[in-house]
């Protein structure tokens, strides 16, 4: 007997109810983003590996441990996308979109990372997110964070998350800070984890993002970015925080927030929660002014964020939202001749915008039970008697009221339920 096939570890099937929730989140977020002037973009699920290796940094955990990379039959190095921003930057360059700046883009879809599966973290996961390209003003940072705040508010999550922000400064700030960090961590190198030792030479700021307990003890007394900001970088961040305060968006400064990828600069931020255990980051992002240039395009400022749909869905109060978008009409034909005619009527009703479930087989009692399980609002019963009379028996399932309706009057009679389906 062959072994029963199961989904690959770290993946799961989106059955209709969960898929409905995912669609609700994506549709709601897109509707909010469109009010901010965003259009939708969809990039390939896989790219040439260099798209991610060049942009995410060779020392990042994503590249060194987590990418699904392989050589295809043509000998090309291919990687399933571990995140969206690099692919969108590649699309910006590939499609020569410079003349469309500023460019506001919304995306949604699956991404892939080889991580240890746990609640809120899967190897195939799903995200929504936005990218704002071509705006180098702190106002762009404020508006992008405000959009994230509005999406979370629209999903009913405003009171379940808190906003944490930090600045990574400009290039001059990071250059000076980097040297200071290297000196500090060199003095503690023997106590660092192997990952942090590797990062010390390539990207010491990444050590601040370490989850290793031994590293965390050393990080507590590490130099702070705020002490090494240039006046320009400090002024930039001040305008961001003042802008958020002016919009009434509460935030907490988190000086250890660095984000996990190499391309961030200036503002970085996360909306976090304490309701999901270890996976507390719900939505995160930041500014990446050098990314497009790193991709081979013109110098183009950018800022964006991404949110995990699985984590958003786990946080949401689904009881407060409509259970389903529609309640169907159940069409129940009884007899072979009735079935032939009923199929024509069902097709006509669907063309008119009604949600109709066709009861294929079983006696009347069993078909009525199925109609009730489907939460149908009306059952239309059509047998040889109704066929001879040119009518259909209409039963309202909430009240139990029943009457005959002429075929010629059916659409008009059902019209009052059209908006509920």
Q: Within a domain: residue 359?
A: yes
Query: Phi, psi at residue 141, to the nearest 5°?
Result: -65, -45
Identify the CA nearest to 150 among candidates 283, 288, 274, 279.
283
Query: Phi, psi at residue 307, to the nearest 5°?
Result: -130, 140
Number of domains into which the chain is organized: 2
Q: What is the pLDDT of residue 259?
A: 67
Residues sharing a CB contact under 8 Å with residue 146, sequence separation 6 or more, in sequence order: 244, 247, 249
Sequence-ordered alpha helix ranges (H) in 267-355: 291-294, 309-315, 336-351
pLDDT-based confidence at 373, cuts 50/70/90? confident
Q: Within a domain: residue 225?
A: no
Query: Are residues 24 and 88 located together in one domain of the fold?
Result: yes
Query: Are residues 159 and 29 located together in one domain of the fold?
Result: yes
Query: Are residues 313 and 343 located together in one domain of the fold?
Result: no
Q: Within a domain: residue 217?
A: no
Q: Within a domain: residue 128?
A: yes
Identify the CA nearest to 134 among candidates 163, 108, 105.
105
Q: What is the pLDDT of residue 255?
A: 86
Q: What is the pLDDT of residue 312?
A: 96
Residue where one domain finishes, among candidates 291, 319, 347: 319
Q: What residues make up the domain containing 350?
A: 329-418
pLDDT-based confidence at 3, cuts 50/70/90? confident
Query: Are residues 126 and 67 located together in one domain of the fold?
Result: yes
Query: Are residues 302 and 362 located together in one domain of the fold?
Result: no
Q: Which has the minimum average pLDDT: 81-95, 149-163, 206-220, 230-244?
A: 206-220
Identify the CA nearest to 89 among candidates 387, 300, 405.
300
Each residue's pLDDT tens digit, 309-364: 999 999 998 877 655 557 899 999 988 888 888 888 888 888 888 999 887 777 88
| CATH code for position 309 | 3.30.930.10
Q: What is the pLDDT of residue 59?
A: 47
Find out whether the peptide bond into 102 is cis, omega within 30 degrees of 0.
yes
Q: Within a domain: residue 247?
A: yes
The answer to whether 170 and 307 are in contact (CB under 8 A) is: no
Query: Are residues 138 and 245 located together in one domain of the fold?
Result: yes
If one compares 241 and 178, the residue with the highest pLDDT of the two is 241
Query: Are residues 373 and 278 located together in one domain of the fold?
Result: no
Q: What is the pLDDT of residue 365?
A: 87
If one compares 201 and 412, the residue with the highest pLDDT of the two is 412
Query: Are residues 309 and 352 located together in one domain of the fold?
Result: no
If one compares 57 and 384, the residue with the highest pLDDT of the two is 384
Query: Are residues 147 and 54 located together in one domain of the fold?
Result: yes
Q: Which has the minimum average pLDDT: 23-32, 51-60, 126-135, 375-384?
A: 51-60
Residue where one domain finishes, among candidates 261, 292, 319: 319
Residue where one domain finishes, among candidates 319, 338, 358: 319
Residue 70 has pLDDT above 80, yes or no: yes
Q: Within a domain: residue 186?
A: no
Residue 421 has pLDDT above 50, yes or no: no
Query: Are residues 165 and 70 located together in one domain of the fold?
Result: yes
Q: Within a domain: residue 189?
A: no
Residues sharing a CB contact under 8 Å with residue 217, sequence separation 6 or more, in sequence order: none
Residue 57 has pLDDT above 70, yes or no: no
Q: What is the pLDDT of residue 1?
A: 46
Query: Are residues 302 and 333 located together in one domain of the fold?
Result: no
| CATH code for position 400 | 3.40.50.800
pLDDT-based confidence at 203, cuts 50/70/90? confident
Q: Within a domain: residue 346?
A: yes
Residue 174 has pLDDT above 90, yes or no: no
Q: What is the pLDDT of residue 303?
A: 97
Query: Are residues 142 and 250 located together in one domain of the fold?
Result: yes
Burial code (b: 16+ CB inside 10 Å, e: under 16) for 3-25 equals eeeeeeebeeeeeeeeeebbebb
């Amino acid at each position: 007997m062959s072994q029963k096939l199961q989904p690959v570890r770290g993946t799961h099937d989106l059955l209709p109810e969960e898929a409905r929730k995912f669609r609700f989140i994506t549709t709601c977020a897109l509707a909010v983003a469109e009010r901010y002037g965003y259009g939708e973009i969809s990039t390939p699920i896989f790219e040439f590996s260099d798209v991610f290796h060049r942009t995410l940094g060779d020392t990042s955990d994503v590249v060194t441990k987590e990418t699904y990379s392989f050589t295809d039959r043509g000998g090309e190095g291919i990687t399933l996308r571990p995140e969206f921003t690099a692919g969108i930057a590649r699309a910006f360059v590939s499609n020569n979109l410079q003349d469309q700046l500023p460019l506001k883009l919304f995306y949604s879809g699956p991404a892939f990372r080889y991580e240890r599966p746990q609640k809120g973290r899967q190897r195939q996961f799903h995200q929504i997110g936005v990218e704002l390209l071509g705006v180098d003003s702190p106002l762009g940072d404020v508006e992008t964070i405000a959009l994230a705040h509005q999406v979370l508010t629209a999903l009913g999550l405003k009171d379940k998350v808190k906003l944490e922000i930090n600045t990574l400064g400009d290039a001059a700030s990071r250059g000076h800070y980097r040297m200071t960090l290297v000196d500090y961590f060199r003095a503690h190198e023997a106590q660092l984890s192997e990952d942090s030792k590797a990062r010390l030479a390539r990207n010491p700021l990444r050590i601040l993002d370490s989850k290793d307990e031994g590293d965390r003890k050393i990080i507590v007394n590490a130099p702070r970015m705020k002490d090494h900001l240039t006046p320009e970088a400090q002024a930039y961040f001040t305008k961001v925080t003042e802008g958020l305060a002016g919009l009434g968006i509460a935030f907490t400064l988190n000086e250890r927030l660095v984000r996990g990828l190499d391309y961030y600069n200036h503002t970085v931020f996360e909306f976090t929660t304490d309701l999901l255990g270890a996976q507390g980051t719900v939505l995160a992002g930041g500014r990446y002014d050098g990314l497009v240039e790193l991709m081979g395009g013109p110098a183009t400022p950018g800022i964006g964020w991404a949110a995990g749909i699985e984590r958003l869905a786990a946080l949401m109060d689904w009881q407060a939202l409509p259970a389903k978008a529609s309640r169907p009409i159940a069409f129940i034909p009884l007899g072979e001749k009735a079935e032939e005619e009923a199929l024509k009527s069902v097709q006509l009703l669907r063309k008119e915008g009604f949600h109709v479930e066709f009861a294929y087989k079983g006696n009347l009692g069993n078909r009525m039970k199925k109609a009730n399980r489907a939460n149908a609002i009306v059952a239309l019963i059509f047998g040889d008697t109704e066929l001879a009379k040119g009518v259909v028996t209409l039963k309202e399932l909430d009240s139990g009221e029943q009457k005959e309706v002429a075929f010629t009057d059916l659409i008009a009679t059902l019209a009052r339920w059209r908006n509920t389906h």
